[in-house]
Amino acid sequence: MPLTDTATKLNSLGLPKPPAETRVVVAMSGGVDSSVVAAMLAEEGYDVVGVTLQLYDHGAALAKKGACCAGQDIHDARRVAEAMGFPHYVLDYENTFRQAVIDEFADAYLAGATPVPCIRCNERVKFKDLLETARELDADCMATGHYIQRKMGPRGPELHCAADPTRDQSYFLFSTTPEQLDFLRFPLGHLASKSETRALAAKYGLAVADKPDSQDICFVPNGNYASVIEKLRPGAADPGEIVDMDGNVLGKHRGVIHYTIGQRRGLGIGGLEEPLYVVRLDPEARRVVVGPKEALSTRVVPVREINWLGDQPLDSRKEWSVAVKVRSTRPPREALIRPISATEAEVELLTPEEGVSPGQACVFYDTGSSRILGGGWIHASR
């Protein structure tokens, strides 16, 4: 007997049913990226539900420009939903956001680390609580405007870098788990440039087509971290000493929270023979430790809380040859991962990096493809 092809045709989101019968929750920040995703899917005939998270004080947010999830952005997301004819909901996640993201951000800075709250927001709020809300709304999947790609591999969905390396957001999404990846979709990851996204926004007649990209951390006005920390943790800006690596006092500082590892400008200790950089922060002693540029070089990076996305378990090998990013703005560099457990490892950078800081992420990439193999958090450096 001839074989009959019983396979069900997959829709553009990789699901085996027509778009009209496929419910998609779109996480809408009010910016052009997520707005285009929602409009695109609505035009394709999907059952779109837009959801925007109110993450911090709505009243204060009204005057805040250049950040997601603020008052104006909620209004913009609602306008897109009205124009494209799909429902839109605003969920109050202020308490969740404060507990899961803002408090840790403040405490990490006070401990001398350089936190990345956008990663924690994706991990603990958007891809956890919001994803569960999407399931409760009987959604078949959740779509976002992130520039990253989800590709099907022999063992299931894989996370890959965006087609446009200048927009790639893989550094901020390394903690996406396989279970989350099964439910998530990233419709913009294959686009060659941001101009394509804006062209689509214009095509759909969206009012946000020319809206500027968000630049700041949403709850940090004008990038002024110190002022936010002072409000959250009174007394955090107590002054102290600037010392060299031998403990000699070189000057005074106006609070450890005003300094970051690798900083050279604004130290106020001129007149020395060679330029000095912040090489370590000691919050308990209220000291800023400075040294020559070569003191910033780091070869061995301890990493924990690892989310591993490889096909075999992380600790199934003694060593993995990968590329890693230790900062979002730096290109991946060759490295070796030596697992200590399933969630902890020592990463050796084949070429030392400067300014590696606790609190930053260390993200792993496959050297032979665009695949992201996971990542973890830098908890110390030497």
Catalytic positions are 121, 218
- Cα separation, 217 vs 211, whole angstroms: 17
- 287: CB partners within 8 A, 6+ apart: 240, 241, 242, 243, 256, 281
Is 236 in contact with 282 (CB distance < 8 Å)? Answer: no
- Cα separation, 50 vs 81, whole angstroms: 7
Buried b (16+ CB within 10 A) or exposed e, 155-164: eebbbbbbbb
Q: From start to end of 47-117, where are the E strands?
A: 47-54, 88-92
- Cα separation, 115 vs 378, whole angstroms: 10
Is 243 in contact with 280 (CB distance < 8 Å)? Answer: no
Tokens of 74: 């909620």
- 217: CB partners within 8 A, 6+ apart: 67, 117, 118, 223
- Cα separation, 105 vs 220, whole angstroms: 11
- Cα separation, 266 vs 252, whole angstroms: 12
- Bridge partners, residue 201, by sequence: none
Q: How far apart are the first and last CA of the chain?
A: 68
- 196: CB partners within 8 A, 6+ apart: none
